[in-house]
Amino acid sequence: MSGNKPLSRFHQPVSVPGRRLLHGVRLKFVQKKIVGGGGRAVNTEIPLIPFIDFLLCIVLFLLASFSASGELPIDKNVKLPSAQNAVEMLEAPMIAISGTQILVDGIPAGSTRAVIDAQKMQKIDELDAILKNKRELWKQLKPGVEFPGNVILQVDRRVPALVVKSVFMTAAAAGYPAVSFMVGKLAKD
């Protein structure tokens, strides 16, 4: 830059402050607004108490749904398939069939490997005994009520059909003709 040329105001880093915006206006209500002395206060407080109430409601709702979702005990070794035309779940004994074992409500009731090795459809004796016991217990607890005969199978998607058919046949023979397969829900097309 040359020394003769006057500096424009944009080149000056510090300048004397000029008049403030609206301070020159002599109307009182405008000045009140500027300094926050108007009808409505500029500073507002966050309403903490309703906010805490709201959070507590969310916590209670989540706790309630948390316990409800935990009511379906799904075996960790079982990866369920999904289906579009499935219906609502019902309360019934659960038979979990993984790649290695068969469980009735968490109690071991046979080996998957043994059924595969046999290479034919067969009745699984342990499963049959447990299911019959459950049926007798139910009848003792609810005398005079017709036994619904529902059972739900949680079957891993890689388990061969031979095992599924064997369990299906065993359940039917033990007095549980209404067999259902637990699945994930797929959206319909």
Site for other proteins, rule CB under 8 A:
48-49, 51-52, 55-56, 58-59, 62-63, 65-66, 69-70, 72, 74, 79-90, 119, 121, 152, 155-162, 164-165, 168-169, 171-173, 176-186, 189
Q: Report, in Å, the least distance between residue 38 CB and other proteins.
A: 27
Q: Which of 154, 62, 76, 149 is nearest to 109 (CA)?
A: 154
CB nearer to other proteins: give 39 or 189.
189
CB nearer to other proteins: give 127 or 183.
183
The DSSP line for 33-56 is HHHT-SSS-S-----HHHHHHHHH
Burial (0-12, 13-18, 19+ Cβ within 10 Å), 33: middle
CB nearer to other proteins: give 30 or 56.
56
Q: Report, in Å, the least distance between residue 105 CB and other proteins.
A: 16
Q: 186, 82 in Cβ contact below 8 A?
A: yes
CB nearer to other proteins: give 31 or 138.
138
CB nearer to other proteins: give 130 or 183.
183
Spatial separation of the C-alpha atoms in residues 82 and 53, rounded to whole Å: 39
> Roughly what angle, to the nearest 10 degrees, separates helices 161-173 and 125-141?
40
Q: Report, in Å, the least distance between residue 185 CB and other proteins.
A: 4
Q: Report, in Å, the least distance between residue 73 CB and other proteins.
A: 11
CA 71 to chain centre: 12
